[in-house]
Structures are given as C-alpha cells and as structure tokens.
Amino acid sequence: MIRLFAFLSFLVLSLLATAQEGELPCVPCGSTGRVRTVNQDVLYQGEDNVLFCANVAGNQRRFRGMRFRPCPLCKFPDLAAKAREEYDEGIRKQVEWYRLRQPIDRAFKSRLRSANGVPNSKFSHCTTEHFDLTWGTSKHVMDGKVVDRHGVMHRYVDRLEALCQSMESVFGTLVEERLNLNLVTGPPMAKSLKKVYRESLPEVDPFVVIWQAGKHKGDDRLHELLVHQLVDKLLMSVDLSDDRQWVSVGAGHHFAHSLVESPRVRTGVLAEQAYHDSADSFADIVRQRLESGVSPDFAALSAKAPSEFTSDDSLFAWSWVEFLMQAGHAPDKWQAFLKDPQPVANALESHFGASVSDFLEAWKQFASRPNESSDNS
C-alpha cells in the first residue's frame, strides 16, 4: 500500500514536473499514453474465461482484443513510448498464438461467411489454464437455447476447468503441460485433423475426442463423454499402471456423477447401457449385486483393459474408487499408488495400508450400508 502510494506520488510529481515545462496534460489519454479501443468490453463479453481466443486474436480490426492502444496525440513521449511497447508486445503475443491455429483453419474452410474478418473455419480455438482447445461442434442446444460453436466452446471452458479442479483436489496436479484437446464430430474429421497436425504442427501432441451427436444425443451426453475421456487421459498422464485401469473407469463415473447435470452413464462396453434407464442409483445397484451374492474378483478386474469391462466391472470399479475417495487419502498417496510399478496388490498395501482381502472386506461394509454410499445421481 505504502509502495503504491509512493509510486502514485512519484507519478503525480513527474507529471507536474513535465507539465510545468509548458505542456498541458494530454486530453485524449489523460496522460497515461493509452486510449481505450472502441467498445471492447461489449465486443468481447464472455472472453474473460480464456487466455486467448481465435475470435479475438484473429480480429485485426478489433485490435486483436487489446483493450487499449497508444494515444496517437500524446504530449508525453515517455508515456506514449511505454504504451506503444506494451501494445506491440500484446499484439505480438496474440499474433504468435493465432498463427499456430491457422494451418487448421486453412484446412477446414467453412462455406459460411465470417463476420469481422474472422476466418471461416469449421473450428473455434482458445487457450485456458489447462487446455489448448480446438472445438469443432456445430451450433448446439444448451439449457434450451441454441448456442453457436464459439459460444459452446466458451461454455465448455468452465466445465473443463471445473473437472480439472475436481480431479486435482483428489489426485493432485495432473496437467503439467497444457493439454491440446480437440473435439470433432466424427471419425473422418478426426482423421483429417490428425493429418493436419502431423504435417503442419508436428511439435504438437493432439488429443482428439470424437463426439457423435447421433449416438450421444444432447448436451449432457457431450459433457459426460468429455468427462470420461479426460479423466482417462489425465490419469494416463501420471503413468497409470496397466493393472490400475479400474481407477480410471471408476473415477470417470465419479466425476460424471458429480459434474454432469443428468449423467446416464455408460457402464461398460460389453453390456453397454445395461443400467442406462434404471431409476436406481449406482450405489443401490452395487448393494443389490452384493446382496444377491455377486462380488468382484480383484485380481481378474485389475487384469482387464477397460474395453473388456462388463457393466458389473464398471459398477464395482466405481464403488472401489468411491470407497477410496471417501477415506480422504492425500493426493500424493493417490499418485504414488497409481504409478507404483509394483503389482497393484502390493501398491495397495504400500500406499493405502491394506491387503487386498482387508480392502475388499472394508469396501463390502461400505457398499452394503443402505443410503450411505455417496452416489449423487
């Protein structure tokens, strides 16, 4: 506070000193060297949740999103020079970021005409804290309203960042480097996009999620798909051991249940959608399974790849993860457990302090308790 005050006093005194040399404070900029660019706040409403957005960075006529430009009439050369420097640096960053997206935009020209000099691409792009997003859905219904592609992308930024935050609260930091995430609407688009990356942006390692609107109808299904795919991707990034893939499946269901408004949940590829329209919660179904004598085989389930999971496998994986999460293990314990190269049984013992039989015993008690499992659905 004192330093700020000192700085302000210094500024005022400097201005007075300069003004005393015969000049009046510059009227257009009020002696900051900067003037506002036109209507930026209105034009770029909703851009605050991203660091960069192509609709802004690509828009030269709107100063690429710079909220000020150097005062063209400034009577204070030092201030004007400083403002110019900051402005040029801001523009340089926007252009540099935007150039990296252009090979994609050039390869995916849309027939639609653009407004405000933004190129006609089939993709929108932005960069957030955790993601470099390339978004290829068309317009889409959200909360009963039709939203255009750019708007949908911005709405998803909040959802994706919320997922990262929730995951990090359990597992600690998972995204060391920003993840290049691409959403496309079908396998052919995915194939072409990967080709563009290979040929024009070989330094980027793209993660491509395919959303087939006909198969996963509606916004909640898109949200759910992204949650499952990202949980998997982010857990893989900590070198998740092969015999711990049930954690990824279980955590996918956990986060889908806590973040997606009405999760309907795929419960396994082999018996897909077995509980799709069931009114019972996952916790209820797990309890019923246990009551009817079905129980999971830890070694067998750990040996499976998620593509081999049955509905029961997915339910039990979910329930094990819920059980481990409610025990409140610290993120570093989780990460140590996930990537420990020992077999899963040993890793369980080393990091969560339980043999497989103790773990299953305690879990059964947790899962059999009526109305105490933490299923939000």
**Site residues (vs Zn ion, CB under 5 A):** 26, 28-29, 53, 55, 71, 74
Q: Measured from the CB of residue 89, what is the shortest distance to Zn ion in angstroms?
A: 19
Q: Which is nearer to Zn ion, 70 or 206 (CB)?
A: 70
For residue 112, the minimal CB distance to Zn ion (Å) is 17
Q: Compute φ and ψ for 148, nearest 5 degrees.
A: -75, 170
User: Do 44 and 151 contact (CB within 8 A), yes or no?
Assistant: no
Minimal distance, residue 150 CB to Zn ion, in Å? 5
49 or 258: CB nearest Zn ion: 49
Query: Which residue's CB is nearer to Zn ion, number 46 or number 188?
Result: 46
Cα 163 from Cα 156, distance rounded (Å): 10
Closest separation in Å from C-beta 358 to Zn ion: 51
d(CA 371, CA 348): 27
User: Which is nearer to Zn ion, 53 or 163 (by Cβ)?
Assistant: 53
Measured from the CB atom, the residue of 29 and 234 that comes closer to Zn ion is 29
Place of tokens 């005393």: 20
Using alpha carbons, select from 244, 210, 246, 206 the residue that is nearest to residue 225.
Answer: 210
The distance of closest approach from Cβ of residue 321 to Zn ion in the complex, given in angstroms and rounded to an integer, is 35
Beta strands in the chain (DSSP E): 34-36, 52-53, 68-70, 124-127, 131-135, 140-142, 145-147, 179-184, 207-210
* Helices (runs of H) and strands (runs of E) counted in the chain: 15, 9
Least distance from Zn ion to the Cβ atom of residue 224, Å: 24
Smaller CB separation from Zn ion, 149 or 266: 149
Nearest to 325 by CA among 258, 237, 239, 227: 258
Question: Rounded to whole angstroms, how far apart are CA atoms 224 and 255?
Answer: 9
Paired tokens of 324: 């481990």
